[in-house]
Amino acid sequence: MKADVIIVGSGAAGLTTALALAQTLKVLVLAKGALSGGSTAWAQGGIAAVLDSSDTFENHIDDTMVAGAGLNRRETVEFVVERAPHAIERLIELGVPFNTHGNTLHLTREGGHSHRRIAHVDDATGWSVQQALVKAAHNHPNITLLAGQTCIDLITGQHELRYSGSGRVWGVYALDEASGQVWAHTAHVTVLASGGAGRVYQFSTAPRGATGDGIAMAWRAGARVGNMEMMQFHPTCLYNLDVKNLLITEAVRGEGGELKIPPGYPGAGHRFMPDFDARAELAPRDIVARAIDHEIKRLGLDYVHLDISHKPPEFVRGHFPNIYEKLLALGIDMTREPIPVVPAQHYTCGGIIIDLAGRTDLPGLYAVGECTESGLHGANRLASNSLLECFVFGEAAASDILDYWDSYAAPPPILPWDESRVTSSDEEVIIKQNWTEIRRFMWNYVGIVRSTKRLERAQHRIRMLTEEVTEYYGQFRVTTDLIELRNLLQSADLIVRSALKRQESRGLHYTLDYPDTLAEAKDTVLVP
């Protein structure tokens, strides 16, 4: 297909960009699997914005910089924080039914925030946001939504019929999941809004498709990536052997939930967070996740307890109706008993390097949302700043594309996808096994606490698997699983290389070999 602008991804970042561009341009939105299959639909806590008269932009900026351990770009933080109230207004116009308290929005609180500033829809904010955006995009005559398209690689000057070899981006090659054919979708401008790479870890709160595809595609096409070692671990994911990725929102701690040692161990029932940080359960995520990890390893626990049963049952059910029901179905009544929790990978703070207009290094390519490194999150994202980043940068990128539209030429004739690899593999089991292997060693060697030796072990395995997968990729017809495996490996490689480069501990990157934080905060930048 041809369009003015192609957007890869139909989450908060992609659809915000699409709606802002569609005033004048024809936009094609591509999604792997279902339209609501990204992280956006899974978001629980809400969206951070200064909306209360006792709060200020300065407070939100400071909280973001403190959580980010000074690695944030202040210019970006100011840019996003100052646009946050407008983002919430825009969502209200789109019909997002935020919770209210009298005539004002009800604001909840999460770790690292000095004030109540999280606008939310119960404990399932993302679902309401995703539905409102999809509805608006469906109804827009200038937007075409195409699900079931797994994008493989960016189309660049190398793929022009009259080879120019330039880095100019002209669209994407995508696997049509229904027919198994690969199509070339072309456009004047391409926007990556493809989400994070959380699934590179064995335990993650992110959906199945968070395999770092956009980051890997941009890297292969020649764009720089930054701070990939900053993978965020959420402190409280349900510990359950069957349900591996049920997040227990940070708002549970924001509304009074306490972390305790479970029965049967020394110090049973002890509330341990005050031993680690004066902000206790409301310290930034890196600190809380590391404290839980420390207690689990020190005492040989499977999990710790998150307890909000001291609050009235109607308060708990009223604030967390979805989590309450989900836990009840698993036999846990959170109004009467504690919830077993462990940390799990949650968010990719690094990604494709962009400027304040969402521009990447490559002409014709923008990027927005979790796949980017915009300078907002630094070494650790502040809770509920992620959806906000999608809305602010979606509008900023659209505005820049519209401003410079005349400079973006139409795509030249493009080579079709190389169909020489026509053989279907009968060794699907290898793909599954490699998926599992990467996720396991990334969890064990590149997790919450790292060391140079563990990182080098991971790097060695990545090299071996890359050889195997490259050979496999060169021979067989592509499938979504194979495309994702290739991107998982690429993302794992970028994370490990970045982690090895950072010879200090800062924010989410903690290494036993360099436990101190250097005086100067510097980005880790990888250049292809």
Please give the positions annotated as active site: 285
- Is 45 within 8 Å of 251 (Cβ atoms)? yes
Contact partner, 256, from ligand SIN, ligand FAD, none, Cβ < 5-8 Å per class:
none
Written as six digits, the tokens of 287 are 């600190």
Residue whose entry in the numeric block shows the structure tokens 């005539």: 103
Question: Nearest approach, Cβ of 518 to ligand FAD (angstroms)?
Answer: 28
User: Residue 282 or 390: which CB sits closer to ligand FAD?
Assistant: 390
User: Residue 84 or 455: which CB sits closer to ligand FAD?
Assistant: 84
Q: At what angle do helices 452-475 and 480-501 cross, to 10 degrees?
A: 150
- Is 197 within 8 Å of 211 (Cβ atoms)? yes
Facing residues of 339 across strands? 306
Q: H-helix or E-strand containing 439?
A: helix 428-445
Distance between CA atoms of residues 338 and 449, nearest Å? 26
User: Residue 371 or 455: which CB sits closer to ligand FAD?
Assistant: 371
For 21, half-sphere exposure in the C-beta direction (CA atoms, 13 angstrom radius) is 34
Among 386, 480, 491, 524, binds ligand SIN (CB under 6 A): 386
x/- track of binding to ligand FAD for residues 235-264 (CB under 6 A): ------------x-----------------
x/- track of binding to ligand SIN for residues 289-308 (CB under 6 A): --------------------
Binding part of the chain for ligand FAD, among 11-19, 75-83, 154-162, 414-422 by CB under 6 A, reads: 11-19
Among 55, 293, 307, 370, binds ligand FAD (CB under 6 A): 370
- Residue 43 lies near ligand FAD (rule: CB under 6 A): yes
- Is 307 within 8 Å of 260 (Cβ atoms)? yes
User: Residue 345 or 524: which CB sits closer to ligand SIN?
Assistant: 345
Contact partner, 397, from ligand SIN, ligand FAD, none, Cβ < 5-8 Å per class:
none
Provide Rg for the chain, Cα atoms. Answer: 22
Please list the helix, strand and coil fractions of the chain in percent, rounded to the nearest 5, in that order: 40, 20, 45
**Around Cβ 26, how many Cβ atoms within 10 Å?**
16
In 3-state terms, what secondary structure has residue 418? Answer: coil
Among 383, 442, 483, 508, binds ligand SIN (CB under 6 A): 383
Contact partner, 194, from ligand SIN, ligand FAD, none, Cβ < 5-8 Å per class:
ligand FAD
Written as six digits, the tokens of 478 are 């592509």
- Residue 49 lies near ligand SIN (rule: CB under 6 A): no
Distance between CA atoms of residues 323 and 321, nearest Å? 6
Question: Nearest approach, Cβ of 46 to ligand SIN (angstroms)?
Answer: 7
- Residue 45 lies near ligand SIN (rule: CB under 6 A): yes
Binding part of the chain for ligand FAD, among 5-13, 161-169, 258-266, 465-473 by CB under 6 A, reads: 5-13
Q: How far does CA 188 lie from the centroid of its chain?
A: 27
- Residue 32 lies near ligand FAD (rule: CB under 6 A): yes
Question: Nearest approach, Cβ of 60 to ligand SIN (angstroms)?
Answer: 14
User: Residue 44 or 240: which CB sits closer to ligand SIN?
Assistant: 44
Distance between CA atoms of residues 504 and 515, nearest Å? 6
Q: Which of residues 425-464 bind ligand FAD (CB under 6 A)?
A: none
- Residue 389 lies near ligand SIN (rule: CB under 6 A): no
Residue 54 carries which side chain, given as an amino acid letter?
A: S
**Around Cβ 440, how many Cβ atoms within 10 Å?**
13
Written as six digits, the tokens of 279 are 């902000």
CA distances from 172 to 31, 104, 414, 416, 509 (A): 12, 44, 11, 11, 33
- Residue 281 lies near ligand SIN (rule: CB under 6 A): no
Written as six digits, the tokens of 258 are 């306490």
- Residue 128 lies near ligand SIN (rule: CB under 6 A): no
Report phi then psi at 480, rounded to 5: -60, -40
- Residue 411 lies near ligand FAD (rule: CB under 6 A): no
Residue nearest to ligand SIN (CB): 45
Q: Which of residues 237-266 bind ligand SIN (CB under 6 A)?
A: 249-251
CA end-to-end span of the chain:
29
Q: Which of 8, 19, 320 is nearest to 175 (CA)?
A: 8
Among 124, 146, 387, 492, binds ligand FAD (CB under 6 A): 387
- Residue 39 lies near ligand FAD (rule: CB under 6 A): yes
Footprint of ligand SIN (CB under 6 A)? 44-45, 249-251, 383-384, 386
Footprint of ligand FAD (CB under 6 A)? 8-14, 30-33, 37-40, 42-47, 125-126, 149-151, 193-195, 205-206, 209, 213, 247, 347, 369-370, 384-387, 390
